[in-house]
Amino acid sequence: GEVGSPGTGGLARTPRLPLVLPFLQYPGIAQSIRSDVDNFLSVLKMGVTLPEGLFAEKTLQVLQKELHWECDYVREANCARRFRQLLEGDPFFEVPAVVDDLSTRRVLSMELVGGVPLEQCQALDQETRNEICSHILRLCLRELFEFRFMQTDPNWSNFFYNAQRHKVALLDFGASRGFSKEFTDHYIEVVRAAVDGDRAKVLQKSKDLKFMTGFETKAFEEAHVRAVMVLGEAFSTMGPFDFRTQNTTRCIQELIPTMLKHRLCSPPEESYSLHRKMAGSFLICARLGAVIPCREMFEEAYGQYVVQKQNVVSQRTSDVRERHGPGTPSGGIPPS
């Protein structure tokens, strides 16, 4: 079956396609998950003592929504189609086609792909492992800042590497989600600030993103900024970053107690799945022993994002002028 999926998979043949992989959802699984999370929330409200900064109820509500998405195979099929369209013609990634005739709300059928999950790629040569990881991180940046639509489950088994074709097939789109332009506008500037070592800007942009209220203690502010700087280390390092020697996980673990003690608000909903995907992708790079130039990737993504924003502003200005005639200021009021 599919790892982390509320169902099971098997092979099937059809007249049109040689092999199809249908995923069949266990009966009643969606209702069971919803009931279990509701019961757990009830227990929490009865007085279970957890750190206030964990915001456990909000965390569980986000988890419940994501599990509901995972159980909706119609939604997942639509997400798979969207990713297949977004990555059409990509030289490295491919998305198997959804077999519409054999898919329903409880059954998802897709073309069978060849290859092995990334956990079986650790013995490949360094150059190949570096290339795989470079593409995975570059895809993360494209998903967030170009598509504003991300498959947020970084499970090893969701990436199948085909050595003969030198391609990676992407699988399992149940945890896919979109991001608003407002969120990505602020988030890319947080990363930019981390890359530049601008701690004051990291703090301000984190407040703009609603990671903070502005009334946090100095201890929390310092821990938060430190965490962002640690997470941004790969993108701030000049030249190749050696994921084999990084100690990101240990550094973040040391900061967690302070952040749980002093946090005043829950993080933005988008950040839960986003940070899971980024952390999982970094872990893939570490497990595969990647040594790759990450800063170049971010600089490219940032440059494209800025140009895109400028083009949007220019287009809006042009549209206003067309509607109101030449010489009309952006507010649409003709000069006196």
- Indicate the burial class of 132 (C-beta count within 10 angstroms; 0-12, 13-18, 19 or more): buried
Q: Is the pLDDT of residue 46 over 90?
A: no
Q: Are 228 and 190 in contact (CB under 8 A)?
A: yes
Q: Are 177 and 269 in contact (CB under 8 A)?
A: no
Structure tokens that stand for 106 in this block: 């409880």
Q: Which letter does DSSP use for residue 12 in this model?
A: B
How many residues are given for the chain? 336
Half-sphere exposure of 61 (CA within 13 A, CB side): 12
153 is catalytic: yes
pLDDT 10s digits, 110-166: 998 899 999 999 999 999 999 999 999 999 999 999 999 999 998 999 999 999 999
pLDDT 10s digits, 159-185: 999 999 999 999 999 999 999 999 999
pLDDT of residue 136: 97
Give residue 11's pLDDT band: very low, low, confident or very high (50, 70, 90).
Answer: very low
Q: Are 69 and 144 in contact (CB under 8 A)?
A: no
Task: Scan for tokens 């302070």, then name that residue.
Answer: 258
Q: Which of 100, 101, 125, 153 is catalytic?
A: 153
What is the value of pTM for the model shown? 0.80
Among 129, 125, 175, 167, which residue's Cα sits nearest to residue 150? 175
Among 171, 191, 197, 163, which residue's Cα sits nearest to residue 297? 191
The pairs formed by 231-234 with CB atoms below 8 angstroms and a separation of 24 or more are: 231/194, 231/278, 232/191, 232/194, 232/195, 234/282, 234/294
CA–CA separation, 213 vs 104, rounded Å?
A: 44
Sheet holding 20-25, edge to edge: 7-9, 20-25, 107-111
Give residue 76's pLDDT band: very low, low, confident or very high (50, 70, 90).
Answer: very high
pLDDT 10s digits, 225-274: 999 999 899 999 999 999 999 888 788 888 888 888 888 888 899 998 99
Structure tokens that stand for 306 in this block: 């800025």
pLDDT of residue 246: 83
Among 317, 329, 144, which residue's Cα sits nearest to residue 235? 144
pLDDT 10s digits, 273-294: 999 999 899 999 999 999 999 9
Which DSSP string do the residues of 220-236 spell out, in sequence order? HHHHHHHHHHHHTHHHH
3-state secondary structure of 25: strand
Identify the residue with better confidence: 53 or 82.
Answer: 82
Sheet holding 167-170, edge to edge: 93-94, 167-170, 159-162, 116-117
pLDDT of residue 22: 65
pLDDT of residue 129: 98
